Amino acid sequence: MGSLDAMTALGTWLWDIDPVLLRLGPLEFRYYGILFAAALMSGYGILRWQYEQDGEDPENAVRLTYALIAGVILGARFGHVFFYEADKYLANPVEIIKFWKGGLASHGATIGIFTVLLVYVYLVRKIPFRVMADRLALTIPLATTCVRLGNFFNSEIVGRVTEVPWAVVMPRHDMAPRHPSQLYEAAMGVVLFAILYAVNRYYVKRGVERPLGLMSSALLAGYFSMRFGVEFFKAYQVSGMEGPLTMGQYLSLPFATVGYVGLWASLRGPWAQDRASKYLVTSAKKVATPEEGGGEGAPRAKGKGASHGAGKRKQRSRK
C-alpha cells in the first residue's frame, strides 16, 4: 500500500494488466497477438480498398498481403536479432525461430516490406516500385498503432524513468515511473494516418493525380522523424549503447533521409510530373489483352480512382 501511495503522490499511474486476455486449457489469447492480427487485418482492408479505388481487381490484394505478412514477420524478427541482440542469438541460433517469445523490430519489418515490394513490382507486376509503395503507404500507420498497443499490454519496450505527471509504473517490468513511450508511438501512428489521408483527399477532391512517390516518401519522412523524437523517451534497447542516440535513432536516420529526398523529388524534382496511371495502364495492356485473357493488374470496369485521382480526372475530360 505504501508504494501505491507514493505513486499517487508522484502523479504516476499503475499498469499491471495480465497480457493474456483469455485462457482455454493450454491455449492463450494474448492482447499482443490479437492486436498484431488487427494490424494485419487493417492493413489488408486498406490495401484492398486502394485496389478497388484504382479500378483493379481487389483479389490481387490478397496475394500481395500473404507475401507482405511473411516479409513483415521475417524482417521484424531478423531485424531484432541482428540490430538488438546479435550476440545472444548467434551464441544460440535455435532461439531465432522462437519468435513467440518476443523480439520484433519495426526497422526490420520495413526492410522486409521493401524486399517483398521489390520482388513483386519487378517480377510480378513489372511497374515502378513507387506505384505500389504509394498504394501501401496508408496501410502502415494504423498497423504500427496496433503493435505499440500490444507492446503496452506486454509491459515491454518501456520508456525512460521520469517524474512527469503522466508517468506509468509497470510492475511486470519494474517499479520505476517511466514515460509511456508505447502510447506515444501508438498516437504517432494515428497522427500519421490522418496526415496521409488528408494528403490523399487533397488530390482526390481536386480530381487530379498525386505526384508518384509522394505518399510513400511522406510515410518514411513522417514516421521515422517522429520515431527519432520518441526514442528520446524510450529506454535503451541495446546494452552498451547508452550514448547520445539510441539504436532506433541510428536506424531511423537513413529511412527518414530517403523520405525527405523522395518528398523533394515528387514535389519539385524529377518525379513531379510522374503519375501512377501511366504505369497502371501500361501494366494492364501487358497482362489484360483479350487474347491473353487478362491477369493480375487488369483494371476493373468501374474504377473510382480515389487513391491517385485517375478516375475523376478522366471523367472531367469527357465533360
Segment 41-67, tens digit of pLDDT: 999 999 999 888 877 888 888 888 989
Gyration radius of the chain's alpha carbons: 22
Residue 303 pLDDT > 50 = no
Percent of the chain topping pLDDT 70 = 82
Query: Is 38 domain-assigned?
Result: yes
275's grid cell: 503519375
Which pTM was predicted?
0.80
Query: Is 22 domain-assigned?
Result: no
Query: Is 213 domain-assigned?
Result: no
Angle formed at CA 51 by CA 46 and CA 57, multiple of 5 degrees = 130
pLDDT level of residue 310 (50, 70, 90 thresholds): very low
Query: Is 229 domain-assigned?
Result: no
Q: pLDDT of 202-260, one tens digit each?
A: 999 999 999 999 999 999 999 999 999 999 999 987 766 678 899 889 999 999 999 99
Query: Is 164 domain-assigned?
Result: no
Query: Is 202 domain-assigned?
Result: yes
Picking from 99-108, 142-151, 226-235, which range would have the lowest pLDDT averaged per residue? 99-108
The number of folded domains in the chain is 1
Query: Is 45 domain-assigned?
Result: yes
Residue 196 pLDDT > 90 = yes
Residue 31 pLDDT > 80 = yes
| Domain interval for residue 96 | 30-157+176-207+280-291+303-311
Kindly report each contact of residues 26-30 with a partner whose C-beta sits within 8 Å and lies 24 or more positions away, as own/partner.
30/153, 30/154
| Side chain identity at residue 46, one-letter code | I
Query: Is 76 domain-assigned?
Result: yes
